[in-house]
Amino acid sequence: MPRDTTTTPAPTGIDPRGPRVGAGITAGLLAVVVLLGPSRAGLALLALVAAGFLLGAVRGAEGTVQGWLFRTFVRPRIAPPVELEDRRPPRFAQLVGLAVTGAGVVLGLLGVPAAVPWAAGIAFVAAGLNAAVGLCLGCELYLLGVRLRTAGRTTGATRR
């Protein structure tokens, strides 16, 4: 498939192990939220996780606290990555995580305390899949969007 040269080139890549380590840390925090249930402590921890997702949505997965932990403590102790990953899908995944956890926080603050562990549980499944087997659901959503957008342009071009 020919590459579209009219768009800006893909940004430089990131070590794909970084977001997986970050997902493991996030999954651990979300598991604690689920265990805390609909409590003030659960809501506070979910808000902290949502703030982390906000950082990731704005700065990219490597700009989070988990990204710093990976760069500082894990990356110096392992071999260089075989290949790099595009920054955009993990950054979009951070936005998806923010939407899910942010909804839980907002609903918790509005008096729906059960939303806190539910949102944490949903986000836990996604983070756990990423950490355990490398399946990033938010990244897959990003790639689906790219494919749909590309297909729409192709279909629109043939109708003229």
pLDDT, residue 145, reads: 96
Question: What is the DSSP code (8-state) at residue 17?
Answer: H
pLDDT band at 103 (very low <50, low <70, confident <90, very high): very high
What pLDDT does residue 10 have? 52
State the total domains in the chain. 1
Cα(110)–Cα(119) distance, integer angstroms? 14
Distance between CA atoms of residues 83 and 69, nearest Å: 21
The answer as to whether 49 is a domain residue is yes
Q: Say if 151 falls within a structural domain.
A: yes
Terminal CA-to-CA distance of the chain, rounded, Å?
21
pTM of the model: 0.87
Residue 76 lies in a domain: yes
Q: Quick one: tokens of 132?
A: 């355990």
* Percentage of residues of the chain with pLDDT beyond 70: 89
Q: Whole-angstrom Cα distance, residue 115 to residue 120?
A: 8
Is 12 within the bounds of a domain? no
Q: Is residue 154 part of a domain?
A: yes
Q: What is the mean pLDDT of residues 100-117?
A: 98
* pLDDT score, position 153: 80
The 3-state DSSP class for residue 99 equals helix
Interval 105-117 mean pLDDT: 98
State the residue range of the domain holding 154: 17-158
Separation between Cα atoms, residue 141 and residue 58, nearest integer Å: 18
Higher pLDDT, 84 or 10: 84
101 domain-assigned = yes
Q: Is 137 part of a structural domain of the chain?
A: yes
